[in-house]
Amino acid sequence: MAAEWGKISSEEIATAVRGRVLCGDPQTRFSGFNSDSRTVRRGQVFWAIKGDRFDGHDFVSRAAMQGASGVVVQKEFQASLDELPVVITVADTLKALGDLAAWWRRQHKAKVAAITGSSGKTTAKEMTAAIFQMGNKTLKNPGNHNNLIGLPVTLLKLEKMHRRAVLEMGMNHKGEIARLTEIADPDTAAILNIGMAHLEGLGDMDGVAEAKTEMIGNSSPEAKIILNGDDEVLMKHAARFGRSFTRFGLEDGNDVQAIHLRQNGSEGIGFDLVFEGNAWPVHLRVSGLHNIKNALAAAAIGFCLEEPVNHIIEGLGSFEGVKGRFQRIPLKQEILLIDDTYNANPSALRAALHSAAPLVRKEGQLLVGLGDMLELGKAAVSAHREAGGRVAGSGVSWFFIMGSHAEVMREGAIAAGMPSDRIIIARTHDELTAAIIQELKPKDMVFLKGSRKMQFEKVSENLQRHFGLRIADF
C-alpha cells in the first residue's frame, strides 16, 4: 500500500528514518509534513532542520503552538518535553529527511526521472513534465527545489494518483548528486552537460564532471542512463562506469538526434526528432540551440519510459518556456527583450549568445546587459574576461555591464575589438536600465543575463514597465 499522509504514524516515520519516538503516542497519525514553522498547520509533523542561516530547532515551540502533532529533532535538542506533542529523535534531521523521502518514494509506483547538468535543468524538467502530463498525473519540483531539502520535500508530495515524477538535481559540492540520486532512486537518470559552474567548490571541469556523474554511480543497475553524447568531457567521465547509455545530441551516432534544424524567428525553432530509424517533425515555441538539446533530453527520457511518440511530440510542442530562462518578451516599438536573468555561468552564456544572434532583426541592433557570474573560484577573472570577448564577437552594438568583474569584462571586450565608447558600466539596476533605454531604438533586441544574486530580473521588469508589452509577438 502506498504511503499516505493522514494514515502514516509516528512509529512508522521513526522506523523509516532510524529514529525513535521519545515521547507521545507512537500511533499518532500526521496529516502532512512541514519544515517551515511559519506555515505549519494543525496535524502536521514539523521537521527541525539545521541550516547555514537558520536552525529549525529554534522554532519547535512555535510549531507546537500552531498545532503540529509531532516534531522531529536531533538527539541533542534540549527542551521541556511537557510542552511538546509527539517527539521523534534522530541523529541528523537533514539526513533523516532524505531517508524518509527515499522510503516514501519506494512506497509508490510512480516512475521517476532525474535530471542534472551545469545548465538547462529546469527547462529540461519542464519539457519532460509536459511530455508526461499528456497521459499521466505527474509530480515535479516546484521552481528550483533541487537540493537536499527541496528534492525530499517534493518526493513527500507523491500520492497514489501519480504515475510519473520528474526531479531536477542541483549541486555545489561533491557528494550532493550522489545523495540526491540515492534518495530519488530514478528509473531514468539524465545528465545534460558539463560546464563552468560551481568551480569554486569543484576546482575545474573534471571536478564538475566527477560530481555530476555521481548520478550514474548511484543509480540502480536497472535505471536507464541518458547522456549528452555531444559532450566529450561528460562521455569521458561516464565511460569509467562501464554501463550502457542512451545518448542524445546533434551529432551522428546519438540514439536520440535532431536533424534538419529550422529557425522560425520569433515563433520558435523546429527540427526532426530521430529515434530507432524513425523521424518526426517537432516544433518548439522557444528559441535556441540549447533548447533543442534540452528537448532531446526530455524526448530520450520519454522514449526510455515508453511514452507514446505523439505524447513526446505534443508535449514538447506545448512547452512555452520558463520565466527568466531565455524568455522572449515582445515590447512595444517592435523591441524584443530576451530575459535570461535567472542564472549564469560561462557555458550557459556561450550557448545563450549563440541562440540570441539569429533573433536580431536586420534593421535592428543587439544590446547586451551582463552581470557577474558567481561561484567560479580561481577561474573568475579569466572567465569574465573571456565573457567580455565573447559578447564583443556576438555582433553586439552596445554592451552594458554591472558587478565586481565589470572592468575585467570591459577589458575582454576591448581586446576582442569592441569600441570602448560602446561599453557602459553601471553601478545599479536603475542606472543600467537608464543606459539601455538611452541607446535602445525600435526593432532592436536586448539580451540580459547574470547570476541569480545579481538580480538582473529588475532590469527586465524596468524595461517592460518603460516600454510596455506588445499583445502579439512579431
Q: What is the pLDDT of residue 344?
A: 87
DSSP secondary structure string for all residues of 276-332: TTEEEEEEESS--HHHHHHHHHHHHHHHHTT--HHHHHHHHHH---BTTBSEEEEET
The percent of residues above 90 in pLDDT, for the chain, comes to: 80
In this prediction, residue 52 has a pLDDT band, given cuts at 50, 70 and 90, of: confident
- CA 9, 98, 161, 143 torsion-angle sign: positive
Domain assignment present for 302: yes
Give the domain CATH number at 392: 3.90.190.20
Contact indicator for 112, 165 with CB cutoff of 8 Å? yes
pLDDT higher than 90, residue 77: no
Domain assignment present for 296: yes
Least confident of 52-56, 218-222, 315-319, 449-453: 52-56
Q: What is the pLDDT of residue 198?
A: 61
- Report pLDDT digits (tens) over 350-405: 989 988 888 898 899 999 999 999 888 888 999 999 999 999 999 999 999 999 99
| Same domain as 177, residue 300 | yes
| Same domain as 332, residue 286 | no
Specify the length of the chain in residues.
474
Domain assignment present for 97: no
Domain assignment present for 5: no
Give the domain CATH number at 69: 3.40.1390.10
The percent of residues above 70 in pLDDT, for the chain, comes to: 97
Distance CA 202, CA 14 (A): 35
Q: What is the pLDDT of residue 143?
A: 77
Q: What is the pLDDT of residue 358?
A: 85
Mean pLDDT along residues 264-279: 90
| Same domain as 158, residue 272 | yes
- Report pLDDT digits (tens) over 123-145: 999 999 999 999 999 999 997 78
- Report pLDDT digits (tens) over 187-198: 999 999 998 766
| Same domain as 356, residue 430 | yes
- Report pLDDT digits (tens) over 160-177: 999 999 999 998 789 999
Q: What is the pLDDT of residue 474?
A: 39
| Same domain as 131, residue 28 | no
Domain end call among 286, 318, 350: 318
Domain assignment present for 103: no
What is the tally of structural domains in the chain? 3
| Same domain as 280, residue 170 | yes
| Same domain as 33, residue 162 | no
Domain assignment present for 463: yes
Domain assignment present for 442: yes
Q: What is the pLDDT of residue 199?
A: 65
Distance CA 287, CA 282 (A): 13
What is the extent of the structural domain holding 347? 327-467
Least confident of 3-7, 181-185, 271-275, 311-315: 3-7
- Report pLDDT digits (tens) over 82-111: 778 999 999 999 999 999 999 999 999 999
Please give the mean pLDDT across all residues of the chain: 93
| Same domain as 354, residue 247 | no
| Same domain as 217, residue 72 | no
| Same domain as 179, residue 82 | no
Domain assignment present for 246: yes
Domain end call among 318, 353, 386: 318
| Same domain as 153, residue 170 | yes
| Cβ neighbours of residue 49 closer than 8 Å, sequence gap 6 or more | 35, 56, 93, 94, 97, 149
| Same domain as 350, residue 249 | no
pLDDT higher than 60, residue 473: no
Give the domain CATH number at 292: 3.40.1190.10
Q: What is the pLDDT of residue 241?
A: 96
Q: What is the pLDDT of residue 1?
A: 52
